[in-house]
Structure 1
Amino acid sequence: MFYNLLRGFLYPFLFIFLLFNPKKLKFVLSRLFQDISILDKTKEYIWIHCSSVGEINLTDSLINNFKKNCKYNILITVFTDTGYETAKNKYSNEKNIFILKFPLDDMFILKKIFSQIKVSKVLLIETEIWPNLINLGNKYSKVFIVNGRISNKSFPRYKKISWILKPLFSKIDKFFMQSEDDKNRIITLGACKNKVFVTGNLKFDISFETFSSEDMSNLKNIMNIDSRKIFVAGSTRQGEDSILIDIYKNLKNTLLVIVPRHLERVNEIETLLNSSNLKYKKLTDLEKNSTSERFQVLIVDKMGILRKFYSIADVVFVGGTLVNIGGHSLLEPLFYGKSPIFGPYLQNVKDISKDILNLNIGYKVANKEEFLNTINLLETNPVSEDKIKAFFKSNQNATEKTIKFMEE
């Protein structure tokens, strides 16, 4: 009640602020005023709520499992624009999958959706704690936290508001957590012990794309590789590109490929490269007009293509780890047989990074010298692909466990 009164009080001030920020105004309006009449009313729904691209990708195996049960439609709501576009691209041809932008936990819109369609289950992926969605989900259906995690960074913050979380958690039917640490933390925050289960990480069940040798050869030809090695820096965040450029200057016969996590940073990366006197090209320009001109750095200014670059890479760095973000997917390069190099900030991937380091199939670096030494090590002593495949095989079946506990 207080939550919605506060929202009602703040709405006028929010819209005044948004009038001076057209980009954010568009973001809010597109979520509060969207067409929900597209939802088919003939079947029950499983509602899956995701934050962004990562959560959309890791729910692949869950969605594929639910698709087999023809009695359900699937509603996917997504918070970010990039996540929404990813979902639309993935499922545009699926007649039983409907995609909406998440309506910012607005009680009236959510209530309208619940009253318009029959929802059987609401799945909140990872730690999407939205009070109105949980309260209404509890009233109209069952609510589950799926692939739940509580990072080192967020745990102290959540503890300060555990008095708010505990009554919300009482309305969640079951919590499916990634690890024992995550299980213990959610219980400390107020979840009932009997409702919490460790099911593993859905990321191991992701169906990664495979690329033909022709696809990879075409990509290399566009980049004018010649005999050079390919150093792919994936999902880079602000503050990392300058470090990577400095490291690259010490490498010979190598092309640096920078794939920023957010495309709005492309101009910022261009400025860094210009100040470093490095010749660069943007991928979208190369796709329009291939060139024989030799350049040193490729900026990937296009979404959804990082995995293809991982597949052709000789050296891979995973971003969000040299600055205090917490890390992005370490599994993606591993799937393509490439040992990831990453920095010390790993709170989002803490369990996976520990396993990777214990098995010596990836490398953590703290500075430029360690980074360069690791690149030399990988060149002389690459990790066995069989070792990487065994790592994946031993961690699969999180989807199967999740669905089993959910049905029970």
Structure 2
Amino acid sequence: MRYFYTFVMYLATPLIMLRLWIRGARYGNYHRRWPERFGLFQRPQFTGSLWVHAVSVGEVNAAEPLIKALRHDYPNAPLVVTTVTPTGSARVHQLFGDSVFHVYLPYDLPFAVHRFLKRVRPRLALIVETEIWPNLYFACRRRGIPLMIVNARLSERSMRGYRPLLSLVRPALRTVRQIAAQSRTDAARYRLLGADQAKVMVSGNLKFDMPVPDGAVDEGAALRAQWGARRPVWIAASTHEGEELAVLEAHLDVLRRLPDALLLIAPRHPERFKLVEHSARSLGFSVATRSVERVPGAHQVFVIDAMGELMPFYAAADLAFVGGSLVPIGGHNVLEPAALARPVLVGPHTFNFEEITLTLIREGGADRVEHVDQLGRHVLELLRDERRRTQMGCQARRVFDSERGAVARVMELINRVLGE
């Protein structure tokens, strides 16, 4: 099955090249780095690296506390961080600068994987969340590189997608040294896919251990001072196509009752920044953007057209709607607003953060909006009820604090593997 899979990957190479060209046109200098996807990059002058793979922005954010722990415990070990997306790359550079070696993960073609591993020469491979690449996994085993899946997550949708490929996925998972799952549900799904039961354990979610960025609370307080401490403010974060219009229409509902209310909206993908700005203007809103006005004044909508700046705006808002949940994307990180004691709203589609979201809802730190038409009502009710917002925020923070410790558990596993 793996030989057939590899044959299909080679057949798809022209389409892969086309996709690289399209993405290069969309993201500035990406076209200059596409050879990295085939293992072509300047060989770094080190050996025995610790390699962390995080697909995109969300996984990089999740890996942040783990990478910092690796830097602390293994100060002499070179750190390699790979991503797949340009936004993930930008986030790596924003968080770690030149203290880590960043390169794009090669496509799962044998020659590309061989070049990559030959150049970075890792002594440990850490895959964050869900990335099962058979050729890469087997190449690590052949070279004696222990491979771990950390913060392992497997949604019901991903489970269904992998099931037809069990004869390919099961042998790949059998090469993995350890799977540290976010939850019992995730651990059970990995076992159903064929992972060795003895190698699967529940470590918790690394995102609970993420630090609140230095100055985020103070910066949020400064923002509130500029637009008025009593002004109603809500944020819609990591929004996608299909829900941004619903968010803007919800804000129209809010403005009918609270005419001085402010919406902060942060699209998930940079290519949507301008589209969302134009949509807001076409609906008659007065609009400001992070890239031009920097902070809103008497505007009704503020578009956060920048990456990696959500935390100060969460701190400045009265409540947070977390996107990717009104449409079947699966939702995004509800822990960031929870860490800042902000009440959370989510839509019906939260399978990417299933257990965390259910815990927040059960403990009173979050509410679910079952239909797009109900978003405005939920936002308005919370904006008009300061006592309930405070209670929800406290509960959200309590859930966040109670679940911490995943980094220490994962580091214990890493120390054991490296010790062997």
Alignment TM-score, normalising by the size of structure 1: 0.90
Report the 3-state secondary structure (helix = DSSP H, G, I; strand = E; otherwise coil) of the residue aligned with 1:285. coil
Calculate the aligned-residue CA RMSD, in Å: 2.5
Name the CA shift for 1:204/1:135 in 2 (closer, same or farther; >3 Å). Answer: same
* Correspondence for 1:138: 141
- What amino acid sits opposite 1:263 in the alignment? P
- Between the two structures, name the one with larger relative contact order (CA 8 Å, sep ≥ 6): 2
Q: 1:72 to 1:393 in 2, by over 3 A?
A: same
> Displacement, 1:31?
2.9
Counterpart position of 2:116:
113
- AA partner of residue 60 (structure 1): E
* Equivalent of 2:198 in 183, 194, 200: 194
Equivalent residue, structure 2, for 1:258? 265
Deviation at 1:93, TM superposition (A): 4.2
Question: Which of 298, 303, 324 in structure 2 is aligned with 1:320?
Answer: 324
* Equivalent position of 2:188 in the other structure: 184
Q: Secondary structure at the match of 1:123?
A: strand
* Paired position in structure 2 for 1:78: 83
Residue 297 of structure 1 corresponds to which residue in structure 2?
A: 301
CA distance in 1, matches of 2:342, 2:17: 47
- From 104, 123, 127, give the equivalent of 2:126: 123
Q: 1:28 to 1:214 in 2, by over 3 A?
A: closer
- Output one character per residue of 1:15-67: Cα deviation in whole Å (capped at 9) or x when no partner: 467668863793882534676335232x4111111100111111122112211
Partner of 2:41: 36
Aligned residue in 1 for 2:409: 401
Matched AA of 1:284: S
Partners of 1:44 and 1:71 within 8 A in 2: no
Q: 1:307, CA displacement in angstroms?
A: 1.0
What is the letter of the counterpart of residue 408 of structure 2? Answer: E
Q: Given that residues 363 and 374 in structure 1 are in contact (C-alpha distance below 8 angstroms), is that contact kept between their aligned partners in structure 2?
A: no
Moved more, 8-17 or 115-124: 8-17
Counterpart in 2 of 1:349?
353
Decide which of 378, 399, 419 is 1:391's aligned counterpart.
Answer: 399
CA contact (8 A) 2:322 2:345 kept: yes
Partner of 2:9: 7
Question: Structure 1 residues 214, 400: closer, same or farther in 2, change over 3 A?
Answer: closer
Q: Deviations over 1:261-319 (max 9, x none)?
A: 012112321332233111112121103xx786x32111111111111100100121110
Assess if the C-alpha contact under 8 Å between 1:231 and 1:257 holds in 2. Answer: yes
Would you say the 8 A contact 2:289–2:296 is kept in 1? Answer: no
SS in 2 for 1:124: strand
Letter in structure 2 aligned against 1:55: E
Compared with structure 1, are the counterparts of its residues 344 and 189 closer, same or farther at alpha carbon in structure 2 (3 Å cutoff)?
A: same
Structure 2 match to 1:92 = 97
Inter-partner Cα distance in structure 1 for 2:217 and 2:12: 55
In the TM superposition, residue 135 of structure 1 has moved relative to its aligned partner by 1.4
Matches within 5 A, 1:145-184: 145-184=149-188
Cα shift at 1:205? 0.9
Alpha-carbon distance in structure 1 between the residues aligned to 2:89 and 2:22: 25
Name the residue aligned to 1:65.
Answer: 69
Instruction: Specify the alignment match of 2:333 in structure 1.
Output: 329
State the SS of the aligned residue for 1:92. helix
Q: Secondary structure at the match of 1:161?
A: helix
**1:26 is aligned to 2:34:** no
Shift of residue 239, structure 1, vs aligned partner: 1.2
Q: Look up the equivalent residue of 1:54 and give its one-letter code.
A: G
1:381 is paired with a residue of what secondary structure?
helix
Distance 1:177 1:62 in 2: 14
CA shift, 1:14, in A, is: 4.5
Secondary structure in 2 aligned to 1:250? Answer: helix
* CA-CA distance at 1:150 after TM superposition: 1.0
What code does the residue aligned with 1:88 have? H
Residue of structure 2 in register with 1:281 after alignment: 288
In the aligned structure 2, how far is the partner of 1:182 from the partner of 1:53?
A: 21
Number of corresponding residues = 401
Identity of aligned residues (%): 26
Q: Which runs of 5+ in 2 are unaligned?
A: none
Amino acid in the other structure paired with 1:234: A
TM-score, length-scaled by structure 2:
0.88
Aligned residue type for 1:401: R
